[in-house]
């Protein structure tokens, strides 16, 4: 199982749509996939599950079947990680290949407890603290085991809070979606030092407990979340080149990514199109998105019955090729094996 988080400190870059489409694409390519919605806004869950079904899953009288519902017993001090529900999603062709760890707006209520227990991991009585901080990882691990999943794609919110810290501990790799604007570059500058500090702080906490001779009797995340690369989202092109308004910011991305995320010298940063850290330059598909939302399927799965005719049909084929290429690129960087 490979765990990949998609994260940026800047919101509105199409991160959730990216996770949604890649989850479908990997399932199309024959992998068993878990999409883990660890963003309290739960937009990924809303894209994958109809509202009527979400209402059933969020129902609390008998215990909600969400990530927060599974975390609830330990957070409330009455147990440990509860039953983890994996919701089957996708069309008939993907039966059994794509599952959702359902998001929950209630997850935001765990922010304070996760923050408190992070500090308590450094105390002598840290057993419960490690159990709390590892909840997202253990929920993801359980979901992946149920699905026999090859890959878990983790969607998180655009902030540097305690929920996202615990969520990222569960990831082996982090893919960073970017928009071609000033705000995404600033997000990179915030993100790099924070990720490095979180990795160091987690290793320090685990090592301290081990050196004190107090092993933890649960599965703990490795806390690697190594940078896998970046994706430039929603940039507009003319004649296969970014428009001038985007070009200014796109040109800066390789330099800022190396300085802030990789903590490397950027004096010889390449052009973004030849940058090995750039996983893709994804075009805008404005004409397809409304059709996809109405049909409740990925843009690259649209057909004539959904209104994808003429130029739309060509855009669908191009979209499929773009996401297939991106899926293989991410898989190559993250060690996910896909049959040719």
Give the pLDDT confidence of 40-83 residue by residue, as tens digits: 999 999 999 999 999 999 987 667 899 999 999 999 888 899 99
Is residue 270 within 8 A of residue 254, CB to CB? The reply is yes
pLDDT at 174: 97
Task: Compute φ and ψ for 81, nearest 5 degrees.
Answer: -60, 130
Low-confidence ranges of the chain (pLDDT < 70): 61-62, 234-245
How far is it, in rounded angstroms, from Cα 322 to Cα 310? 19
pLDDT at 239: 43
Cα distances from 69 to residues 5, 74, 110, 114, 337, in angstroms, run: 21, 10, 11, 15, 32
Of 71, 30, 20, the C-alpha closest to 292 is 20
Q: Which domain covers residue 68, as residue numbers?
A: 2-334
pLDDT at 171: 97
Q: Per the domain annotation, does 178 fall within a domain?
A: yes
Q: Per the domain annotation, does 286 fall within a domain?
A: yes
pLDDT at 243: 59
Q: Per the domain annotation, does 339 fall within a domain?
A: no
| CATH code of the domain containing 236 | 3.40.50.300
Of 218, 330, 324, the C-alpha closest to 278 is 330
How far is it, in rounded angstroms, from Cα 188 to Cα 176? 9
pTM, entire model: 0.94
DSSP assignment string, 259-328: IIIS----TTPPPGGG-TTEEEEEEP-TTTHHHHHHHTS-GGG--GGGT--THHHHHHHHHHHHHHHHHH
Number of domains in the chain: 1
Is residue 130 within 8 A of residue 73, CB to CB? The reply is no
Q: Per the domain annotation, does 340 fall within a domain?
A: no
Of 128, 188, 129, 134, the C-alpha closest to 160 is 188
Q: Per the domain annotation, does 215 fall within a domain?
A: yes
Q: Per the domain annotation, does 66 fall within a domain?
A: yes
């Amino acid at each position: 199982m490979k765990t990949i988080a998609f994260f940026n400190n800047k919101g509105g870059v199409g991160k959730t749509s990216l996770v949604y489409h890649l989850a479908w694409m990997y399932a199309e390519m024959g992998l068993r996939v878990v999409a883990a919605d660890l963003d309290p806004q739960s937009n990924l869950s809303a894209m994958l599950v109809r509202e009527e079904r979400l209402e059933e899953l969020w129902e609390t009288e008998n215990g909600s079947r969400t990530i927060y519902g599974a975390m609830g017993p330990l957070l409330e001090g009455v147990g440990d990680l509860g039953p983890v529900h994996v919701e089957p999603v996708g069309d008939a062709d993907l039966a059994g290949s794509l599952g959702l760890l359902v998001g929950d707006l209630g997850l935001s209520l765990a922010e304070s407890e996760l923050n408190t227990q992070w500090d308590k991991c450094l105390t002598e009585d840290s057993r419960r603290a490690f159990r709390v901080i590892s909840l997202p990882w253990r929920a993801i691990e359980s979901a992946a085991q149920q699905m026999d999943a090859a890959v878990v794609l983790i969607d998180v919110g655009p902030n540097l809070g305690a929920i996202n810290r615990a969520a990222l501990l569960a990831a082996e790799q982090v893919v960073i979606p970017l928009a071609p604007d000033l705000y995404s570059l600033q997000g990179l500058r915030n993100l790099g030092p924070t990720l490095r500090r979180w990795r160091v702080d987690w290793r320090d906490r685990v090592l301290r407990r081990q050196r004190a001779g107090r092993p933890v009797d649960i599965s703990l995340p490795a806390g690697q979340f190594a940078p896998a690369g970046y994706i430039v989202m929603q940039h507009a092109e003319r004649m296969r080149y970014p428009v001038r308004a985007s070009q200014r910011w796109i040109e800066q991305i390789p330099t800022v990514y190396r300085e802030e995320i990789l903590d490397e010298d950027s004096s010889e940063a390449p052009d973004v199109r030849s940058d090995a850290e750039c996983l893709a330059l994804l075009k805008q598909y404005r004409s397809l998105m409304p059709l996809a939302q109405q049909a409740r399927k990925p843009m690259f799965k649209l057909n004539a019955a959904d209104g994808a005719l003429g130029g739309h049909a060509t855009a669908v084929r191009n979209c499929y090729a773009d996401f297939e290429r991106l899926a293989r690129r991410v898989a190559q960087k993250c060690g996910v094996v896909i049959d040719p």
